[in-house]
Amino acid sequence: MTAFARTAARTAVALAALWSTAAVAGPFPFFEPPTPRAAPPAIEEPTNSAELPANLRRQVVAYATSEAPGTIVIDTPHTYLYLVLGGGKAMRYGIGVGREGFTWSGTQTITRKQEWPDWTPPPEMLHRQPYLPRFMAGGPGNPLGARAMYLGATIYRIHGTNAPETIGHQVSSGCIRMVNDDVTDLYGRVNVGTKVVVLPMGRHHEAAARSAPAAIVPPAEATPAPTAASWRPFWMN
C-alpha cells in the first residue's frame, strides 16, 4: 500500500470516528445557532387603572343652560365638565380641579390643542416646587396625559392625567384634568375657538345638581403614545 493510500485510509477512519462522536454528542459547538435575545419590553398605552365612580364617568345628562351648543362649562365645586349638546342635554365628564387657593373662574376660549403634549412647568410653579423638571417630553409618564387644550393666554389647560385616582378631587395648580379616555373624547369634539366657562367655587350651573344620566358613551379610540417615550415619575401639576 502506498503512502498516499495509507494516509487516505487513516483520514477516512478519523472522519468516521469524528462523525460517530458528533452523532452522539450533538452538533459541533461552532455550528450551534446563536441564542435568541429577548425582545425589549414594549411601551404600554396609558390606561385608566382606577375605576371611576358612576357619577364621574362620561355620560349624557339632562342639562338646562342658556349657553350655546359646543360650549364647555366647568362646574368647579362639583368637579364636572359639561359639553353643551343642545336640546337640554350635555355630555358630562368627571374632572379634577384646582386645590384650595388655586381655583379660578371666568370665560376663556381654547387657543391651542395638542396630542401627547410636552410639559414645561411655568415659573410660578417652579418657584413653589423647585424640584420639578424644567421640561418633560410628551408620553405616558407626562402629567399632562394624552391631550391638552390650552385656555386663552393663561397658564391653564384642560388636559389628561396619568393619575386617574385624582379625578373628583381638588388637586391641581388650576388646570382641569380628565382621565385620558375622556380628554381624548372631548378633544375630538371641540375646536380651537371653543368657549369655556369656568364657574367659581360655591356656585354651580342651573341644572348641575339635579341632572341625571341618560346614556353611557363608549370611549373614543385613542392615538398611540409616542414609541420613544419612557416611563417617568409623576408630578402633580
Active site residues: 159, 175
Measuring CA to CA, which residue among 112, 117, 93, 92 is closest to residue 193?
Answer: 112
Rounded to an integer, what distance in angstroms lies between the CA atom of residue 220 and that of residue 8?
A: 77
Task: Centre a 10 Å sphere on the Cβ of residue 94 and count the other Cβ atoms it contains.
Answer: 23
Residue 68: how many CA atoms within 13 Å on its side-chain side? 4
Q: Give the cell for residue 81.
A: 365638565
| Contact status, residue 186 vs residue 178, Cβ threshold 8 Å | yes
In sequence order, the β-bridge partners of residue 92 are 59, 82
| Contact status, residue 148 vs residue 74, Cβ threshold 8 Å | no
Residue 208 neighbours by CB under 8 Å, 6+ apart:
63, 75, 78, 80, 82
